[in-house]
């Protein structure tokens, strides 16, 4: 029924591409993937069979070759962006697909490498993609590839490394381009492709690539096709990511472990010193007590608040799922908390606990502090502020374990090891270029689109922002329960269909 309806719509609107209404683009896309579902899947399974860990340079190049061929077949001009003298760096695959008369250029980011996978932890081999009748959690079973006359259920899953993260956008994008070609529809933007080959390895060379090929990569808007959809299952567009940094703090007690009977109540106890130091930095209820920690944070605008209003209120549900009856910074929603810098104790250690506990006063106590950054926070400046606070508590800061002379010169000593990191990136919700994408997405989705001001996770997007100076928007298509970075990664077929729908809508936006 549905199919007949969409078909008739298609014939009505497809008489002329110039008359083609972007609002109806989705129908064309749906029609196309209904007709071609088998070949889309077959093609995708082939692609998922090529191992794609960034360090496996031979297979990385096989992936690159597959991608280059696929995009060239669809009319794009492709090339590899490399760094001279660094043959073992996975190349960025670059491409262009120009539309005569188009005045806007979209740069599409996807990464073709995937997380390493230990086959022992997978139900099936990571690079032997396997079709399932539903997710394993929903008692799905492996199924054979469907016969030509058998319809394909959007609830089916493909299990395999990178099925979601981040090869899924390739499956959707290639099908989208095919749909354009088959229907003789023209895109409304020029496309540039930027396919990263070492994202899961932290994209260590992306900055150099951007600097080297800056001119070639120029365009109006970067679209990052990566990440999962909202956990509610609703479509979303994401305007930013948190930044990240961190530090490790070690405080010192006696120079050797002391018998807790012979020296307890007399020797300073590093665990106690650390507890007092950490309690002075932040309340368990979330309030950060470090001077100026929040000063550089970008203010929350009216538009941000309106974006929050598009978000489903799932906090209570998540809390229940996590066995929590309270949260830090009471009254601030999970998503709202992404707009502020954090200070999180990721690890504590001193002596031993449990079965290994001994009757000693340990020599040191260590806390690993994670700092997530909001727009405006500079990673070095934030660490400086924490260090200033530590000094204010009477500590002398060292970079290496103190020697005896240092110990005897300073009452309290803290070794601070500063981590690296990068700032947050956030494109304004009010940017006119991003508004066009938002409009296109709204048209492609019957569900309310979620405007997500910033993600909790961290991606090195700030390189792109800093060097390219263009707005960046993240448009995810993967199901939220895709097990990315874990064994049994999977994509729900319906999410590839969703990708085709929204890409079609974006590529035909006004």
Residues 315-344 that bind a copy of itself (CB under 8 A): 320-329, 332-334, 337-338, 340-342, 344
Nearer to a copy of itself, 129 or 270 (CB): 270
261 binds a copy of itself (CB under 8 A): yes
| Residue 15 CA, distance from chain mean position | 40
Q: What does the alpha-carbon distance between residue 482 and residue 494 come to, in Å, rounded to a whole number?
A: 13
Binding mask 411-430 for a copy of itself (x = CB under 8 A): x-------------------
Please give the residues from 363 up to 382 whose contact with a copy of itself meets the rule CB under 8 A: 365-368, 370, 372
> Is residue 262 a contact point for a copy of itself (CB under 8 A)?
yes
Of 91, 169, 254, 460, the residue at the interface with a copy of itself (CB under 8 A) is 254
Please report whether residue 260 would count as binding a copy of itself according to CB under 8 A.
Answer: yes
- Output b/e per residue, 296-313; b: 16+ Cβ within 10 A: bbeebeeebeebbebbee
Please, which of residues 277-296 interact with a copy of itself by CB under 8 A? 278-280, 282-284, 286
Residue 254 Cβ, how far from a copy of itself at the closest point, in Å?
Answer: 4
**Which span (144-152, 193-201, 214-222, 456-464) binds a copy of itself, by CB under 8 A?**
456-464
In the set 63, 350, 479, 482, which binds a copy of itself (CB under 8 A)?
350
Nearer to a copy of itself, 315 or 430 (CB): 315
Beta strand residue intervals within 423-462, DSSP E: 425-426, 450-452
**C-alpha span between 297 and 375 (Å, rounded):** 6
Quick one: DSSP state of residue 438? Answer: H
In whole angstroms, give the CA distance from residue 200 to residue 372.
19
Please give the helix or strand (H or E) that residue 108 lies within, else none. strand 105-111
Q: Does 259 bind a copy of itself (CB under 8 A)?
A: yes
Quick one: three-class SS letters along 237-294? EECEECEEEEEEEEEECCCCCEEHHHHCCCCCCHHHHHHHHHHHHECCCCCECCCCCC
CA distance linking residue 105 with residue 184, whole number of Å: 20
> Which of 269, 414, 473, 502 is close enough to bind a copy of itself by CB under 8 A?
269
CB of 231: closest distance to a copy of itself in angstroms?
Answer: 10
- To the nearest whole angstrom, how small is the minimum distance from the Cβ of residue 368 to a copy of itself? 4
Decide whether 444 or 451 has the Cβ nearer to a copy of itself. Answer: 451
- Does 121 sit near a copy of itself (CB under 8 A)? no
Site for a copy of itself contains 276 (CB under 8 A): yes
* Longest CA pairwise span in the chain (Å): 92
Q: Report the alpha-carbon distance of residue 241 to residue 426 in Å, rounded.
A: 6
CB 31 within 8 A of CB 10: yes
- In whole angstroms, what separates CA 323 from the centre of its chain? 25
**With respect to a copy of itself, which residue has the nearer C-beta, 324 or 388?**
324
Q: Are strands 240-241 and 395-398 parallel, antiparallel or unpaired?
A: unpaired
For a copy of itself, the closer of residues 286 and 312 by Cβ is 286
390 binds a copy of itself (CB under 8 A): no
Question: Which member of 10, 213, 263, 308 binds a copy of itself (CB under 8 A)?
Answer: 263
- The nearest distance, CB 434 to a copy of itself, in angstroms, is 22
Kind and range of the H or E element at 440?
Answer: helix 432-444
How many alpha carbons fall within 13 Å on the CB side of residue 8? 4
**Shortest distance in whole angstroms from residue 324 CB to a copy of itself:** 6
Q: Which is nearer to a copy of itself, 124 or 332 (CB)?
A: 332
348 in contact with a copy of itself (CB under 8 A): yes
| Comparison of 224 and 503: residue with beta carbon closer to a copy of itself | 224
């Amino acid at each position: 029924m549905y199919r007949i309806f969409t078909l008739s719509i298609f014939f009505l609107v497809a008489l002329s591409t110039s008359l083609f209404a972007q609002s109806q683009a989705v129908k064309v896309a749906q029609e196309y993937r209904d007709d071609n579902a088998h070949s889309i899947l077959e093609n995708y399974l082939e692609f998922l069979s090529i191992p794609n860990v960034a360090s496996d340079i031979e297979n990385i190049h096989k992936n690159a070759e597959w991608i280059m061929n696929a995009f060239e077949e669809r009319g794009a001009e492709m090339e590899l962006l490399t760094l001279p003298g660094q043959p073992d760096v996975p190349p960025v695959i670059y491409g262009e697909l120009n539309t005569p008369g188009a005045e806007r250029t979209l740069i599409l980011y996807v990464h073709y490498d995937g997380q390493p996978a230990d086959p022992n932890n997978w139900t099936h081999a990571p690079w032997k993609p396997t079709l399932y009748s539903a997710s394993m959690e929903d008692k799905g079973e492996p199924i054979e590839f469907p016969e030509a006359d058998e319809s394909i259920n959007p609830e089916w899953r493909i299990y395999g490394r990178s099925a979601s993260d981040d090869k899924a956008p390739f499956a959707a994008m290639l099908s989208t381009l095919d749909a354009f070609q088959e229907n003789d529809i023209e895109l409304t933007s020029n496309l540039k492709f930027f396919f990263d080959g070492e994202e899961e390895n932290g994209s260590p060379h992306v900055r150099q690539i951007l600097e080297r090929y800056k001119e070639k990569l120029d365009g109006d808007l970067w679209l990052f096709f990566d990440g999962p959809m909202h956990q509610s299952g609703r479509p979303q567009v994401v305007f930013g990511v948190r930044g990240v940094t961190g530090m490790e703090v070690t405080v010192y007690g006696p120079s050797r472990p002391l018998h807790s009977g012979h020296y307890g109540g007399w020797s300073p106890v590093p665990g106690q010193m650390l507890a007092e130091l950490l309690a002075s930095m932040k309340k368990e209820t979330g309030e950060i007590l470090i001077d100026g920690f929040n000063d550089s944070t970008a203010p929350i605008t009216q538009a941000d608040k309106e974006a929050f209003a598009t978000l489903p209120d799932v906090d209570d549900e998540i809390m229940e799922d996590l066995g929590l009856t309270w949260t830090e910074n009471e009254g601030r929603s999970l998503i709202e908390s992404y707009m502020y810098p954090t200070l999180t104790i990721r690890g504590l250690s001193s002596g031993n606990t449990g079965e290994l506990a001994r009757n000693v006063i340990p020599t040191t106590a260590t806390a690993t502090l994670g700092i997530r950054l909001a727009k405006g926070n500079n990673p070095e400046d934030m660490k400086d502020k924490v260090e200033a606070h530590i000094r204010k508590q009477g500590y002398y800061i060292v970079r290496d374990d103190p020697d005896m002379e240092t110990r005897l010169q300073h009452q309290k000593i803290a070794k601070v090891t500063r981590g690296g990191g990068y700032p947050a990136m956030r494109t304004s919700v009010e940017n006119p270029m991003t508004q066009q994408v938002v409009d296109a997405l709204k048209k492609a989705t019957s569900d309310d689109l979620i405007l997500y001001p910033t993600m909790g996770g961290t991606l090195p997007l700030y390189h792109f922002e800093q060097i390219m100076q263009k707005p960046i928007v993240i448009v995810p298509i993967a199901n939220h329960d895709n097990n990315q970075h874990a064994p049994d990664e999977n994509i729900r077929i319906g999410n590839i269909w969703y990708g085709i729908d929204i890409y079609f809508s974006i590529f035909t936006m006004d």
